[in-house]
Amino acid sequence: MASTSKANLTEDDEEEEEIEHFDDFTLASSWERFISEIEATCRQWSADGPKNLLEKGAVHLDYSNKIYRIKSELKDATKIYSMEYYFGIDNDGNISDWNCTLHDLQLCFGVKEFLVISPQSASGVVLDAPESSKLLSAVAIALSNCSCLWPAFVPVHDPSRKAFIGIQNMGTIFTRRFEADRIGSQVPVKFMHLEGLYELFVSKFAYWTSDHLTHLFKVYLMMKLTYRTLPNDDENDGIQDADAENAESEKMPDGGNLNRKHWDDDCPWSEWYSAEDPVKAAGTGLMDTMHVGFDLVTTWSEKVIESSLEMAEMENASPHEAEKWILTPNLSPNLDSSKGDRIGFASQLQLLVSALDMSFEAQFMEDFVSVENLGSDNLKSSMVIPPPTVLDRVLKDLLLEGRQFPDFAKGEHKSSRAIKGAPLESLFAQFCLHSLWFGNCSIRAIAVLWVEFVREIRWYWEESQPLPKMPAHGSIDLATCLINQKLQMLAICIEKKRELNEEFQDCLGSNDDVFVHMEEDIQVGEESTSFLTQSQDFDGKRDSPLILEGFNESKTSISKFSTNSQDAYSADKSTSDSKRTGSAGPVGSMKLLNSCQSLHAPFTQNAPLMTEDMHEERLRAVEAFGDSFNFSAQLERETLSSDMSAFKAANPDAVFEDFIRWHSPGDWENDGSKANDKWPPRGKLSQRMSGPGNSWRKIWNDAPSLPAYEQKPLLDPNREGEKILHYLETVRPHQLLEQMVCTAFRASADTLHQTNFGSLKQITTKMDQLFHTMASTLRPLQANLLSGNSEKIEDLKRLCVALEHVEKLLTLAASLRHKFIQAPRVYEAIFSDYYDFYLPNMGKGSADVDIQKEFDLKLQLRVNERQVVSNMFTPPTANQSWRKVLSMGNLLNGHEPILRQIVFSKRDSGSDCHYAVSTRGGPHMDDQQEIETYRMYVCGTSNDLRVALCVTSYD
């Protein structure tokens, strides 16, 4: 360009310059300015290098963390183009390794870093052929000016064709040209087979049409075949299921597990819902709205092919002959979805928490049954209850099936009891689980089910029928929720009530027997003494040496007895005028104070059972009246009086001091000698027992002499049973829902815990964390600290999300283990990889989960694992075979590949190629160096074919 120095110019020279002004026309045209702009951009990108480009805004591709892209806008006249530079941080990889994370153009043309220049239009392609050639020429000139060896591509034709043209300066005398196009339909039959594709490639460099038939060309071949498990036919699911059941019943006459219709029939949650298989394979029996399953990629490493016949033989080769098998699971979109369209325990617990939030609006559960009490019309419409037939079915499942007492500890998590709910197999826990699926788990549906449930419980009480799924013996488990305690107490009361009724019937039967024996004795005089025996039995005054249910043996261990009951009875007959009754045997060598008779331990009644609220009531009474000994004795008066009466019956000559020595040895003060070895024992009562007006002595004086089996039971089953039913009928809605939420969470988690997930440590850890989280979150509900509109409701909703995450992982683990039970390494590897992929989202709520990248695992199978995967590709049904015409080879159990990828290449040395005359002796060419003169990438199926050709030429 011309330049001037105004410091040395005269005024005449300045005037002459203004007249004879010089303009530089080297950048006059827009096309040249366009080339200059491309050149400047490429120079800047080349100078920056990959690391600096990352700092300047380069982004990685969604499907690969190794390939990055940076973009720049260019303008040519009125058109705006986008130029993209694709590059990788590590350029040492081999394109021929079938790396699935490569860019499409890298696979097609075997390049590493490249440019793509395209118009910024709706189609994004150049539709005009002259424009595409001009655009490619501009890029080639710019790259040559800045000495860049990047290949450049321009998208052409229709976007659906995925067509490109491209060029690359090799830095020597050679240039590579690229072209790719696609046939989307009506693929010629010849190109559906390997032989025809081979001939297509040979035709690109054969001089004459007949050359590829008469000459042998050394062609290098790599092949990759992708197989996919077939989904079931949506239209014929019912027919196929019926046919499968008939066929399997013939194979399994004993009715084995082969008749399953759903993949999760053997999973613990299948009683409540059927989960969508997160990794569906053929034969699941479920309808597929979109494909999920497995992709199997088989690859053949580079081979040398010299004839069409070899290609025909290779098409008949089995996939088992491939060098590598790569398995890719295609998981269900719902597995990562946060839309809430999955049905499971977590989704239903969300509804139960919402019902808890509404439970503070009424005083009784019956108030929610009526539609008039529900408020807005929208609320009424969302609280539709199921028909009576559904209600009857639920109640039948709850109360009529499974009457046997279940094992509550079976299947429970070790931390389950930290949650104050009901055991999984108990009646209330089953009610809570049924409530999750009854209607839409609204407060109205729960109210209807609860009212009918309590009504049925009352029927069991009035008819004295055993309460299903509840133990009728043992102590009350105070670690469970109050309703479970009440139901356990009611089951015991029903059993006691039945025993009393049976005893009453036995008495009536015994009375009839008396009159029968009386008539016989009158007729047979010599057997008249038998009436006396029967009447004594009827009076019930005989001593029973057996330990009756509901009675304690004694306050002292029976192992201390020196004689058995028969010996004790014989001794009593010879030494005492009064008859001893209710004795469990003498207590060691202890003697009574007023006589030298052995002190006998009586059979006593068990202490009355109490639920948690009954204990709290007594504690409140103690706090109100003071923690005095007298009041404590008053609370225990009935039990103490029963023990004293039984002691008097077993020891007719006993005094109050004898009872204290047996019942409360700490209140008998010895004089230092062994009182039990000598008679009379030397000692005295303690100060609290010897004081004036002692309540224990007053009770002793008032207690009659009665053995335990003649006493009034300490537990009045009729009174306690009616109190329990009153509680169930009048329980406050929020108190019921609080216990339901705790129990439902515990039962749901315990059910999921029973899933057979193999040796996956991640699941074990997550389950432990879940139970600890539930215990801390549900603690306010267990203490009745919840109130309306409480922040704890939000905590419960977050707990539902935490359970949902674990539920998803368990579903995936169960599905993978079911499919790969004979190849544990496979399902452990797949699950571990998905766990690492999903873990960052597990601490978020459902609304916050945002899966930016799809799960993409490529697992290479070992030889001993191939058969397990091969068995998953069950032969296609007749309907599937009819729909999908088998046109390609390399079948896997009747399945043709869904995608076939082949790379043909031809290499020539410097001395053998037809450029040898021009290149021999050239500065950049070695006679022994091989050049990939032709490369063709073929991708497609029988209905779709894409071909990408790369030719190296001498320009």
User: From the CB of residue 590, how many other CB atoms can be counted at a distance below 10 Å?
Assistant: 21
Q: Which helix (H) or strand (E) holds 307?
A: none
How many whole angstroms separate alpha carbon 171 and alpha carbon 104?
24
What one-letter code names the amino acid at 400? L
Q: What is the pLDDT of residues 454-493, one digit of tens each?
A: 999 999 999 999 999 998 888 899 999 999 999 999 999 9
What one-letter code names the amino acid at 204? K
How many whole angstroms separate alpha carbon 885 and alpha carbon 876?
12
pLDDT bracket for residue 402 (50, 70, 90): low
Structure confidence at residue 7 (pLDDT): 45
Lookup result for tokens 């009819």: 882
806 contact partners, CB below 8 Å, separation of at least 6: 752, 763, 766, 767, 770
Q: What is the pLDDT of residues 503-556, one digit of tens each?
A: 666 655 554 443 334 334 433 333 332 322 333 333 333 333 333 444 454 444
Q: What is the pLDDT of residues 617-640, one digit of tens each?
A: 877 776 776 555 555 555 578 888
Residues in the chain: 955
Check: CB of residue 586 under 8 Å from CB of residue 564.
Answer: no
Which of 449-453, 542-546, 803-807 is least confident?
542-546
User: From the CB of residue 77, how many other CB atoms can be counted at a distance below 10 Å?
Assistant: 10
pLDDT bracket for residue 846 (50, 70, 90): very low
| 383: pLDDT strictly greater than 80 | no
Mean pLDDT of 391-401: 89
Check: CB of residue 262 under 8 Å from CB of residue 208.
Answer: no
How many whole angstroms separate alpha carbon 222 and alpha carbon 292?
28
Check: CB of residue 89 under 8 Å from CB of residue 65.
Answer: no
Structure confidence at residue 467 (pLDDT): 92
Q: What is the pLDDT of residues 317-355, one digit of tens each?
A: 999 999 999 999 988 877 765 555 678 999 999 999 999
How many whole angstroms separate alpha carbon 261 and alpha carbon 202?
52
Burial 264-301 (b: 16+ CB within 10 A, else e): beebbbeebebbbbbbbbbebbbebeeebbbbbbbbbe
DSSP designation for 8:
G
Check: CB of residue 192 under 8 Å from CB of residue 942.
Answer: yes
Q: Which of 450, 472, 335 is nearest to 395 (CA)?
A: 450
Task: Read off φ and ψ for residue 334, nearest 5 degrees.
Answer: -70, -15
Phi-psi domain of 172 (left: phi exceeds 0; alpha: psi -120 through 50; beta: other): beta
Q: What is the pLDDT of residues 64-109, one digit of tens each?
A: 778 899 999 998 878 899 999 999 876 554 555 677 678 899 999 9
pTM score, two decimals? 0.76
Check: CB of residue 270 under 8 Å from CB of residue 298.
Answer: no
Exposed, middle or buried by CB within 10 Å (0-12, 13-18, 19+), for 939? buried
Q: Between residues 570 and 813, which one has the greater pLDDT?
A: 813
- Helices assigned H by DSSP within 284-332: 308-315
The answer, yes or no, to whether the previous bond of 717 is cis (omega within 30 of 0) is: no
Helix (H, G, I), strand (E, B) or coil at 590: strand
Mean pLDDT of 29-46: 90
CA 466 from centre of chain: 36
User: From the CB of residue 741, how many other CB atoms can be counted at a distance below 10 Å?
Assistant: 23
